[in-house]
């Protein structure tokens, strides 16, 4: 779509039958894949308008009460809030630019895909020319959270845009947080997913150690899932507003010093076992080397 067409703010795509003026304050959802479909399903009571390139993805939402649009532009022209959940930066740009061309002033476009922060910032700058808000609002919690309506959503955008999104997002999310300006939501998601996927590699290392020791990997997995649900896993130590070294009078100092002592002991024992069994454990070695400093404790902190 050309820049000339993007500037034609009065042009609205032809309405399909049943898409009345009354629907213009509804919620739109574009991209009905594994995450988008269950997220959108929670919005059917809000005058939901949906679009996906695959007709078979649209049909179940229509059966649940949504209205089907013929294009991205038609969704954007009829909805005050439009959610976008497509695959990557290129698809986000394509969809968002078509939506910007058709949306009315005051519309909020919410990008839920995990993309580059710069992509969201560029689209927000372009949309601002037409009095359209863009928020980057990636989610965490997987298909299970999307189905249950218990996702976490990290929103980057103006405070005003966030307030307009907060309630609809709450239909499919248990935790809705404003992280800062456009781009902040995506930066939060990338930091969160760094932890998520690095931990998968650490889990593979732990499984190699367990397997070499003759331990059941399935039972180990049950133990990990059970105890992480109790302790909160790695998130349990993410309590500080800074990564700077802790001062001895900090309320968390003794707690994290105890955590450091236990962690260094157990990592040392695991590395000893790995050495006996000939299992390479580079993540464990790196963790032991950096464990105390990562908690904010200097190497010579003995109390």
Give the active site residue among 118, 126, 189, 265: 189
| C-alpha 20: how far from chain center | 33
Burial of 106 (0-12, 13-18, 19+ CB in 10 A): exposed
Give yes or no: 219 in active site.
no
> In sequence order, which ranges of 149-183 are alpha helices (DSSP H)?
159-169
Whole-number Å distance between alpha carbons of 168 and 229? 28
| C-alpha 165: how far from chain center | 15
Whole-number Å distance between alpha carbons of 32 and 120? 20
Taking alpha carbons only, the member of 151, 149, 198, 142 closest to residue 42 is 149
Under a CB-based contact definition with an 8 Å cutoff, are residues 111 and 120 in contact?
yes
Q: Is 183 left (phi over 0), alpha (psi -120 to 50) or beta?
A: left
Q: What SS3 string covers 187-243?
A: HHHHHHHHHHHHHHHHHHHHHHHHHHCCCCHHHHHHHHHHHHHHHCHHHHHCCCCCC
CA distances from 57 to 81, 85, 170, 172 (A): 20, 13, 23, 19
CB atoms < 10 A from the CB of 31, how many?
A: 25
CA distances from 258 to 263, 295, 297 (A): 8, 11, 11
Instruction: State both tokens at 190.
Output: 């990338």
- Which residues belong to the active site? 189
């Amino acid at each position: 779509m050309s820049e000339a067409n993007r500037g034609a703010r009065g042009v609205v795509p032809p309405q399909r039958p049943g898409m009345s003026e009354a629907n213009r304050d509804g919620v739109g959802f574009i991209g009905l894949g594994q995450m988008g479909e269950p997220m959108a399903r929670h919005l059917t009571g809000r005058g939901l308008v949906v679009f996906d390139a695959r007709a078979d993805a649209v049909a179940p939402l229509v059966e649940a009460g949504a209205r089907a649009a013929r294009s991205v532009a038609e969704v954007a022209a009829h909805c005050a809030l439009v959610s976008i959940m497509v695959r990557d930066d290129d698809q986000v740009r394509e969809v968002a630019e078509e939506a910007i061309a058709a949306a009315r002033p005051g519309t909020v476009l919410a990008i839920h895909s995990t993309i580059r922060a710069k992509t969201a910032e560029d689209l927000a700058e372009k949309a601002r020319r037409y009095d359209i808000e863009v928020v980057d609002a990636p989610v965490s919690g997987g298909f299970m959270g999307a189905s249950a309506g218990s996702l976490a959503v990290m929103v980057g955008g103006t405070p005003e845009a966030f307030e307009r999104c907060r309630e609809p997002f709450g239909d499919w999310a248990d935790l809705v947080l404003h992280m800062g300006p456009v781009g902040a939501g995506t930066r939060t998601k990338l930091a969160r997913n760094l932890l998520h996927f690095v931990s998968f590699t650490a889990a593979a290392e732990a499984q190699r150690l367990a397997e070499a020791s003759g331990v059941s990997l399935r039972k180990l997995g049950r133990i990990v899932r059970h105890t992480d649900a109790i302790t909160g896993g790695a998130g349990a130590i993410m309590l500080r507003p800074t990564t700077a070294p802790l001062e001895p009078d900090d309320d968390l100092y003794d707690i994290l010093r105890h955590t450091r002592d236990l962690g260094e002991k157990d990592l040392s024992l695991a590395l000893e076992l790995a050495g006996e069994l000939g299992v390479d454990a580079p993540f464990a070695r790196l963790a032991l080397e950096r464990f105390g400093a990562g908690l904010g404790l200097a190497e010579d902190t003995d109390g």
